[in-house]
Structure 1
Amino acid sequence: MAPRRCPCGTGLPYAECCGRLHDGSATAATAEQLMRSRYSAFAVGDPAYLLATWHPATRPRSLSLDPQVRWTGLDVLATTGGGLLAAEGTVEFRAWYRHEGETGSQHEVSRFARVDGAWRYLDAG
Protein backbone atom coordinates (compact mmCIF):
# COMPACT_ATOMS: atom_id res chain seq x y z
CA MET A 1 0.00 0.00 0.00
CA ALA A 2 1.35 3.43 -0.96
CA PRO A 3 1.90 5.97 1.81
CA ARG A 4 -0.80 8.59 2.24
CA ARG A 5 -0.06 11.76 0.27
CA CYS A 6 0.22 14.99 2.23
CA PRO A 7 -2.94 17.11 2.03
CA CYS A 8 -0.85 20.26 1.40
CA GLY A 9 -0.32 19.34 -2.24
CA THR A 10 3.45 18.85 -2.44
CA GLY A 11 2.97 15.29 -3.65
CA LEU A 12 5.15 13.97 -0.80
CA PRO A 13 3.96 11.34 1.65
CA TYR A 14 2.31 12.92 4.71
CA ALA A 15 4.91 11.41 7.09
CA GLU A 16 7.76 13.06 5.12
CA CYS A 17 6.01 16.41 4.69
CA CYS A 18 3.58 18.06 7.13
CA GLY A 19 3.41 14.99 9.36
CA ARG A 20 6.94 15.79 10.60
CA LEU A 21 5.79 19.26 11.63
CA HIS A 22 2.58 18.00 13.21
CA ASP A 23 4.42 15.46 15.38
CA GLY A 24 7.10 17.98 16.40
CA SER A 25 10.05 16.23 14.78
CA ALA A 26 10.58 19.22 12.45
CA THR A 27 9.69 22.91 12.33
CA ALA A 28 8.68 25.06 9.37
CA ALA A 29 11.66 26.67 7.64
CA THR A 30 9.55 29.19 5.68
CA ALA A 31 6.22 30.97 6.03
CA GLU A 32 4.86 28.95 3.10
CA GLN A 33 5.85 25.68 4.74
CA LEU A 34 4.06 26.74 7.92
CA MET A 35 0.96 27.76 5.95
CA ARG A 36 0.94 24.40 4.14
CA SER A 37 1.31 22.55 7.45
CA ARG A 38 -1.55 24.56 8.95
CA TYR A 39 -3.77 23.70 5.98
CA SER A 40 -2.84 20.04 6.47
CA ALA A 41 -3.70 20.34 10.18
CA PHE A 42 -7.20 21.46 9.18
CA ALA A 43 -7.40 18.55 6.72
CA VAL A 44 -6.32 15.90 9.26
CA GLY A 45 -8.19 17.48 12.19
CA ASP A 46 -5.33 18.67 14.41
CA PRO A 47 -6.49 21.81 16.28
CA ALA A 48 -3.62 21.52 18.82
CA TYR A 49 -1.07 22.11 16.04
CA LEU A 50 -3.06 25.07 14.76
CA LEU A 51 -3.08 26.68 18.20
CA ALA A 52 0.62 25.90 18.76
CA THR A 53 1.58 27.64 15.51
CA TRP A 54 -0.61 30.70 16.06
CA HIS A 55 1.10 33.97 17.02
CA PRO A 56 0.63 34.62 20.77
CA ALA A 57 -0.76 38.12 20.06
CA THR A 58 -3.67 36.79 17.98
CA ARG A 59 -4.12 33.17 19.18
CA PRO A 60 -7.65 32.28 20.32
CA ARG A 61 -8.10 30.52 23.67
CA SER A 62 -9.47 27.43 21.96
CA LEU A 63 -10.29 26.13 18.53
CA SER A 64 -12.79 23.55 17.40
CA LEU A 65 -12.88 22.22 13.86
CA ASP A 66 -16.11 21.46 12.03
CA PRO A 67 -16.09 17.69 11.36
CA GLN A 68 -18.53 18.23 8.47
CA VAL A 69 -15.93 20.21 6.46
CA ARG A 70 -13.61 18.10 4.31
CA TRP A 71 -10.61 20.03 3.00
CA THR A 72 -9.89 18.84 -0.53
CA GLY A 73 -7.10 20.94 -2.04
CA LEU A 74 -4.71 23.84 -1.68
CA ASP A 75 -3.43 26.32 -4.26
CA VAL A 76 -0.61 28.64 -3.17
CA LEU A 77 -1.06 31.75 -5.33
CA ALA A 78 1.74 34.06 -4.15
CA THR A 79 4.31 34.58 -1.41
CA THR A 80 6.07 37.70 -0.18
CA GLY A 81 9.05 37.43 2.15
CA GLY A 82 8.81 34.49 4.50
CA GLY A 83 12.12 32.94 3.50
CA LEU A 84 14.81 31.27 5.57
CA LEU A 85 16.26 34.57 6.84
CA ALA A 86 13.11 36.71 6.85
CA ALA A 87 11.29 37.94 9.96
CA GLU A 88 7.86 38.12 8.33
CA GLY A 89 6.03 37.11 5.21
CA THR A 90 2.69 36.63 3.53
CA VAL A 91 1.19 33.69 1.67
CA GLU A 92 -1.81 34.08 -0.60
CA PHE A 93 -3.74 30.88 -1.12
CA ARG A 94 -7.04 29.30 -2.01
CA ALA A 95 -8.15 26.30 0.05
CA TRP A 96 -10.87 24.05 -1.34
CA TYR A 97 -13.42 22.17 0.74
CA ARG A 98 -16.63 20.17 0.67
CA HIS A 99 -19.42 20.85 3.15
CA GLU A 100 -22.88 19.29 3.07
CA GLY A 101 -22.37 18.18 -0.53
CA GLU A 102 -21.26 21.60 -1.77
CA THR A 103 -17.80 22.58 -2.97
CA GLY A 104 -16.40 25.87 -1.75
CA SER A 105 -13.14 27.71 -1.33
CA GLN A 106 -11.49 30.09 1.07
CA HIS A 107 -9.22 32.75 -0.43
CA GLU A 108 -6.85 34.42 2.00
CA VAL A 109 -3.63 36.37 2.32
CA SER A 110 -2.13 35.13 5.58
CA ARG A 111 0.53 37.06 7.47
CA PHE A 112 3.30 35.24 9.31
CA ALA A 113 5.98 36.44 11.72
CA ARG A 114 8.80 34.79 13.61
CA VAL A 115 8.49 34.39 17.37
CA ASP A 116 11.68 33.23 19.09
CA GLY A 117 12.95 32.05 15.69
CA ALA A 118 9.86 29.99 14.81
CA TRP A 119 7.28 30.91 12.17
CA ARG A 120 3.82 31.70 13.54
CA TYR A 121 0.52 32.55 11.84
CA LEU A 122 -0.35 36.16 12.69
CA ASP A 123 -3.60 36.94 10.87
CA ALA A 124 -5.40 37.11 7.55
CA GLY A 125 -5.46 40.25 5.45
Structure 2
Amino acid sequence: MNEINLCPCNSGKLYVDCCQPLHLNAQNALTAEQLMRSRYCAFVLHDADYLLRTWHPRTRPQTIEFEKNIVWTGLNINGRKQGRKKDQQGWVTFVAHYRVVDLEEPPQTGHLHETSFFSRDSAGHWYYEDGQIK
Protein backbone atom coordinates (compact mmCIF):
# COMPACT_ATOMS: atom_id res chain seq x y z
CA MET A 1 0.00 0.00 0.00
CA ASN A 2 1.24 3.46 -0.88
CA GLU A 3 1.33 5.70 2.21
CA ILE A 4 0.17 8.70 0.17
CA ASN A 5 -3.14 6.93 -0.44
CA LEU A 6 -3.61 5.85 3.18
CA CYS A 7 -6.37 7.62 5.05
CA PRO A 8 -5.09 10.29 7.44
CA CYS A 9 -7.36 8.91 10.19
CA ASN A 10 -4.85 6.07 10.79
CA SER A 11 -7.39 3.32 10.09
CA GLY A 12 -4.87 1.55 7.86
CA LYS A 13 -7.35 1.72 4.97
CA LEU A 14 -7.07 3.66 1.75
CA TYR A 15 -8.68 7.10 1.84
CA VAL A 16 -11.06 6.14 -1.01
CA ASP A 17 -12.29 3.16 1.07
CA CYS A 18 -12.40 4.98 4.40
CA CYS A 19 -13.23 8.66 4.92
CA GLN A 20 -13.62 9.88 1.35
CA PRO A 21 -17.16 8.43 0.86
CA LEU A 22 -18.25 10.27 4.01
CA HIS A 23 -16.58 13.50 2.90
CA LEU A 24 -18.32 13.24 -0.49
CA ASN A 25 -21.68 12.62 1.25
CA ALA A 26 -21.90 9.24 -0.51
CA GLN A 27 -22.34 7.41 2.80
CA ASN A 28 -22.99 8.23 6.44
CA ALA A 29 -20.89 7.29 9.44
CA LEU A 30 -22.18 4.09 11.04
CA THR A 31 -20.59 4.70 14.46
CA ALA A 32 -19.41 7.63 16.57
CA GLU A 33 -15.81 6.50 16.09
CA GLN A 34 -16.18 6.44 12.32
CA LEU A 35 -17.54 9.99 12.42
CA MET A 36 -14.70 11.07 14.72
CA ARG A 37 -12.09 9.60 12.40
CA SER A 38 -13.69 11.26 9.36
CA ARG A 39 -13.79 14.61 11.16
CA TYR A 40 -10.10 14.35 12.07
CA CYS A 41 -9.39 13.57 8.41
CA ALA A 42 -11.46 16.63 7.42
CA PHE A 43 -9.27 18.79 9.68
CA VAL A 44 -6.17 17.36 7.98
CA LEU A 45 -7.67 18.17 4.55
CA HIS A 46 -9.19 21.52 5.62
CA ASP A 47 -12.69 20.37 4.63
CA ALA A 48 -14.78 22.95 6.51
CA ASP A 49 -18.00 21.97 4.70
CA TYR A 50 -17.83 18.42 6.04
CA LEU A 51 -16.98 19.58 9.55
CA LEU A 52 -19.94 21.96 9.61
CA ARG A 53 -22.28 19.36 8.07
CA THR A 54 -21.40 16.83 10.79
CA TRP A 55 -21.51 19.30 13.70
CA HIS A 56 -24.77 19.28 15.64
CA PRO A 57 -26.82 22.44 14.87
CA ARG A 58 -27.18 23.14 18.58
CA THR A 59 -23.41 23.64 19.05
CA ARG A 60 -22.16 24.29 15.50
CA PRO A 61 -20.16 27.50 14.88
CA GLN A 62 -20.96 29.74 11.92
CA THR A 63 -17.58 29.17 10.29
CA ILE A 64 -14.39 27.22 10.81
CA GLU A 65 -10.99 28.86 10.63
CA PHE A 66 -8.01 26.56 10.12
CA GLU A 67 -4.69 27.40 11.71
CA LYS A 68 -2.35 27.89 8.76
CA ASN A 69 0.77 26.75 10.58
CA ILE A 70 -0.69 23.57 12.15
CA VAL A 71 -0.08 20.27 10.36
CA TRP A 72 -2.01 17.30 11.80
CA THR A 73 0.32 14.30 11.90
CA GLY A 74 -1.52 11.41 13.52
CA LEU A 75 -4.54 10.11 15.39
CA ASN A 76 -4.80 7.58 18.20
CA ILE A 77 -8.16 6.40 19.51
CA ASN A 78 -7.81 5.72 23.25
CA GLY A 79 -11.32 4.58 24.04
CA ARG A 80 -14.99 4.54 23.21
CA LYS A 81 -18.17 4.39 25.20
CA GLN A 82 -21.34 3.47 23.35
CA GLY A 83 -21.50 5.02 19.87
CA ARG A 84 -22.19 1.72 18.13
CA LYS A 85 -24.61 1.23 15.23
CA LYS A 86 -27.61 0.76 17.55
CA ASP A 87 -26.73 3.52 20.07
CA GLN A 88 -28.09 7.06 20.06
CA GLN A 89 -25.07 8.64 21.71
CA GLY A 90 -21.41 7.92 22.20
CA TRP A 91 -18.07 9.22 23.42
CA VAL A 92 -14.70 8.81 21.77
CA THR A 93 -11.43 9.63 23.53
CA PHE A 94 -8.52 10.39 21.23
CA VAL A 95 -5.14 12.04 20.90
CA ALA A 96 -4.54 14.05 17.73
CA HIS A 97 -0.88 14.89 17.10
CA TYR A 98 0.28 17.98 15.28
CA ARG A 99 3.33 19.94 14.24
CA VAL A 100 3.54 23.74 14.30
CA VAL A 101 5.40 25.01 11.26
CA ASP A 102 6.74 28.54 11.45
CA LEU A 103 9.42 29.73 9.06
CA GLU A 104 10.95 31.89 11.79
CA GLU A 105 11.00 29.20 14.50
CA PRO A 106 12.08 25.54 14.67
CA PRO A 107 9.12 23.12 14.23
CA GLN A 108 7.32 22.23 17.44
CA THR A 109 5.12 19.24 18.14
CA GLY A 110 2.06 18.90 20.31
CA HIS A 111 -1.13 16.98 20.79
CA LEU A 112 -4.81 17.48 21.49
CA HIS A 113 -6.26 14.97 23.96
CA GLU A 114 -10.05 15.09 23.97
CA THR A 115 -13.17 13.12 24.77
CA SER A 116 -15.77 14.01 22.15
CA PHE A 117 -19.52 13.56 22.57
CA PHE A 118 -21.64 12.43 19.60
CA SER A 119 -25.37 11.96 19.16
CA ARG A 120 -27.50 10.42 16.46
CA ASP A 121 -30.71 11.88 15.07
CA SER A 122 -33.92 10.01 14.23
CA ALA A 123 -32.71 9.50 10.64
CA GLY A 124 -29.60 7.71 11.94
CA HIS A 125 -27.03 10.45 11.22
CA TRP A 126 -24.23 10.89 13.75
CA TYR A 127 -23.23 14.43 14.80
CA TYR A 128 -20.39 15.86 16.84
CA GLU A 129 -21.83 17.85 19.76
CA ASP A 130 -18.89 18.92 21.88
CA GLY A 131 -15.70 17.78 23.50
CA GLN A 132 -13.78 17.95 26.74
CA ILE A 133 -10.07 18.68 26.47
CA LYS A 134 -8.00 16.46 28.77
TM range (shorter): over 0.9
Measured after TM superposition, the shift of residue 67 of structure 1 is 2.3
* 1:1-125 to 2 correspondences below 5 Å: 2=2, 4-100=5-101, 101-115=107-121, 116-125=123-132
* 1:13-36 Cα distance to aligned partner (Å, 9 max, x none): 111100110011111000000000
| SS in structure 2 of the partner of residue 74 of structure 1 | strand
Q: Distance in 2 between matches of 1:68 and 1:4?
A: 23
What secondary structure is seen at the aligned counterpart in 2 of 1:94? Answer: strand
Identity of aligned residues (%): 45
Unaligned runs of 5+ in 1: none
Aligned residue-pair number: 125
Once the two structures are TM-superposed, the CA of residue 64 in structure 1 deviates from its matched residue by 1.4
Task: Tell me the secondary structure at the aligned position of residue 43 of structure 2.
Answer: helix
Q: Residue by residue, what CA displacement relative to the aligned partner does 1:60-117 show, whole Å, maximum 9, x if unpaired?
A: 0111111211100000000000000000000000000001211100000000001232
CA–CA distance in structure 1, aligned partners of residues 36 and 27 of structure 2: 14
Q: Which protein is bigger by CA-based radius of gyration?
A: 2
The alignment yields a C-alpha RMSD, in angstroms, of 1.2
User: Tell me, which stretches of 5 or more residues in structure 2 are unaligned?
Assistant: 102-106
Name the amino acid aligned to 1:68.
Answer: N
Runs of 4+ deviating beyond 2 Å = none
State TM-score, norm by structure 2.
0.90
- CA distance in structure 1 between the aligned counterparts of 2:45 and 2:5, rounded to whole angstroms: 12
Provide the TM-score with structure 1 as the length reference.
0.96
